[in-house]
Amino acid sequence: MNIIIFFLVGLIVHVVFFLSIFDIYFTSPLVHGMTPWATPLEPPASRLVLVVADGLRADSLFTPLNNGSSRTSYLRRVIEERGTWGVSHTRVPTESRPGHVALIAGFYEDVSAVAKGWKENPVEFDSVFNESRHTWCWGSPDILPMFAKGASGDHVYTYTYPAEEEDFASTDASKLDTWVFTQVKSFFQSAKSNSSLKASLLEDKNIFFLHLLGIDTNGHAHRPMSQEYLDNIGLVDSGVAETVALIEDFFGYDGRTAYVFTSDHGMTNWGSHGAGHPSETLTPLVVWGAGVNHAQRVTEPQPYTDGYLQDWKLEHIRRNDVSQADIAPLMASLIGVPIPVNSVGLLPLSYLNNTDRFKAESMYTNAFQVLEQFKVKMTQKKESTLSFLFTPFQFFLGCSVVLGFVGWTSYVVLVILKTHTSLNRHPRLCMCVAVVITVFLLIQRSPITYYIYCLLPVPVWYSFRSLSWFLGCLCLAAFPLMPVVGRESNIHLMLHVAVCAYVPSLTHSSLQQKQGLPLLNQIISWTTLASSMLVPLLSSTRLFHRLLSIFLSLTATYLLLSTGSEALFPPVLSWLMFVWINIEQEAVLFQTASGRQEVRPLEKTIQVLCLLVSTSPASSPFLPSFDPASVYCFLTVFNPFIMGGLMMWKVIIPFIIVMCTFETIQVHFFFLVQDHGSWLDIGTSISHYVIVMSMTIFLMLLSVVTHILTSRRLYLWKKPKMHFP
């Protein structure tokens, strides 16, 4: 079969299989047609103030200082005297949009949001804001418009700062929160002289939403343990105290205002979020005001074994943990609006300070609201509730795709075995070891994935012919064992060449001094990035010259995008590629001398497969990992924002280095490599399937780019005479 036709057919097959996942799994869990239900009794509050400190970890708020005091003195007094507190447990992905949806709408991530780049929900949904009489919002342009867009009517008002202000290299990100507090203060001051606005404010069922992004931005830029992050928390505490005093004064201390302070997600020690680490999923929750229980002192041990109560010095105050979606029905009950119809949250009764009848009615309303969803889903012949589901037709589609994949993989393997391998060699020792391992795994009744893990090293070790190859693989294998990338010391920058060593160090120093990004650094970085794919085309197409040019050009770009020991990854990988080329050249000379015309055996195919996996997201700590949260992060790099594009380019560079080596030595088993995802366990989650299919299609297209890089040359002037190309 013509290789071009084979390539096109393979590309079409994988694109079709990739798109099938959206029809089978990526169906919104939301249903419509439910009747809103509200508690018929008089609510305890006329208005509610929701403050969300984006990116605030629970321990960062609750942990006291070494001297016993607290950087959040106001909220600490609320916890100890007149409010109810606990930990709000979020879910993966721990990102701002799904976190706010859970808080305000009461349901968790809608997988169909992938069609919108995870930036908004493609399906309309109900929220506490939508059910309110009026809602005024201040904060980030990334969050507020989502709820205003989904509201029925024109009663959700948003006030946002320019998106350009959300700069991780900002001199002081806390100014984002200062802007919010200043705008709220101006709003209430203007309401005193605006009769129509004042009349609206005096109505019941109103909500005021303050979205504070400064803590999250400082956490990304400086890490949660930095002074900038901690000082920002203190600023938020002072701002909340002033805002509460302002609101109470405006409404004449009528005791009809409820307050909820929480966070959408936490943050890891190295300044990231999105996964399921406790530092990301544990967020603070403090509720006080009208209809809320006062602090309850306890003497007996509380039913929590995580040790946080002792660390936070709060063993004497009752802790009331909730799921993040539970906050939506809590807010709805406090001001007497219907619980959002798509909510899956359960009303936390421990936060309510009201009569038993009110609590019972609220519980009944919550239960009936969930029952309404169940009825609608039963009507639509769903098999379960409160999650995305299989229908019989979806099951049929899934089986069809599996059968198609098995058939295609089998066909490719047969083609490879027929045209690109030789079975003249008999690796008896290798076969004996494989049999022993297989028998052992059979006795242990191990799952099929264990066979892959244990048997894959056998042909790899069997194929080692060179000490240099062994050392290169050993060094490359060390990278997945290194700590996850963080902003630690800059010792590795001494290894950077000239400009690429100067730029990161100067940038780091500038950010530490809160001077922003120097213009010269930006010019050098963007110039390096723009020229990284062009410069190699200007070099000679001789093997060593061209590969060295590609390596140096791509490594320079990779170094500019690196902040830790991952900067050493491209040099080690390139070293291994040069060793591989040398091994192939020696093998060709040996075959020519012996008169053998056989193609390289299947053993090298397995080595290449292992190498690709070692540089892929499955095992490298510098690329996203194969878990549901990382799928979220992986898909977001396809959005139009520059940061996503840069990170995607950093992910691509190792693949370009490997694929250029493929092209150079003309290894014709690329199609086997492209189907390695079929050998792995991709059935454990939708996430694995999406990433493997994306990588497969990506590698096929990348082969075209690397062919141009290794075999074409650009001339900026008249072609000179030379003895070699």
Cα(425)–Cα(216) distance, rounded to whole angstroms? 59
Average confidence (pLDDT) over 75-101: 94
Three-state DSSP state, 619 = coil
Which residue's structure tokens are 């867009």?
149
Q: Are 654 and 554 in contact (CB under 8 A)?
A: no
Which residue's structure tokens are 């005193």?
192
* % of the chain at pLDDT higher than 70: 61
Q: Is the pTM of this model over 0.85?
A: no
Q: Are 557 and 649 in contact (CB under 8 A)?
A: yes
Q: Which of 173, 275, 176 is nearest to 219 (CA)?
A: 173
Three-state DSSP state, 677 = helix
Cα(601)–Cα(238) distance, rounded to whole angstroms? 70
Three-state DSSP state, 661 = helix
pLDDT at 629: 34
Angle between helices 543-560 and 498-512 (to 10 degrees): 10
Residue 216 or 411, more confident = 216
Which residue's structure tokens are 């706010």?
100
Q: Is the pLDDT of residue 331 over 50?
A: yes
Rounded to whole angstroms, what are the CA distances from 449 to 508, 607, 683?
A: 43, 19, 11
The 8-class DSSP code of residue 561 comes to T
Which residue's structure tokens are 């109560």?
309
Q: Confidence class of residue 219 from pLDDT cuts 50, 70 and 90?
A: very high
pLDDT at 669: 34
Sheet holding 83-89, edge to edge: 156-160, 134-139, 206-212, 47-53, 257-262, 282-289, 83-89, 322-323
Q: Average the pLDDT over each of 27-41, 207-221, 481-495, 611-625 and give the range with the smallest value.
A: 611-625
359, with CB counted inside 10 A (0-12, 13-18, 19+), is: middle
Q: Could you tell me which residues come within 8 angstroms of residue 78 by beta carbon, excluding any fewer than 6 positions away?
A: 85, 286, 288
Residue 250 or 653, more confident = 250
Q: Confidence class of residue 324 from pLDDT cuts 50, 70 and 90?
A: very high
Q: Is the peptide bond before 536 cis (omega within 30 degrees of 0)?
A: no
pLDDT tens string 562-592: 766 677 778 888 777 777 777 777 666 666 6
The two three-digit tokens of residue 511, written as one number: 């950010």
Q: Are 125 and 34 in contact (CB under 8 A)?
A: no
pLDDT tens string 687-696: 555 566 666 6
Average confidence (pLDDT) over 291-314: 94
Scored b (16 or more CB within 10 A) or e, 400-439 reads ebeeebeebbeebeeebeeebbeeeeeeeebeebbeebee
Residue 383 or 37, more confident = 37
DSSP labels for 454-471? HHTHHHHHHT---HHHHH
Q: Which of 701, 725, 703, 722 is nearest to 714 (CA)?
A: 725
Q: Confidence class of residue 609 from pLDDT cuts 50, 70 and 90?
A: very low
pLDDT at 97: 87
Residue 200 or 385, more confident = 200
Q: Which of 559, 564, 561, 555 is nearest to 484 (CA)?
A: 564
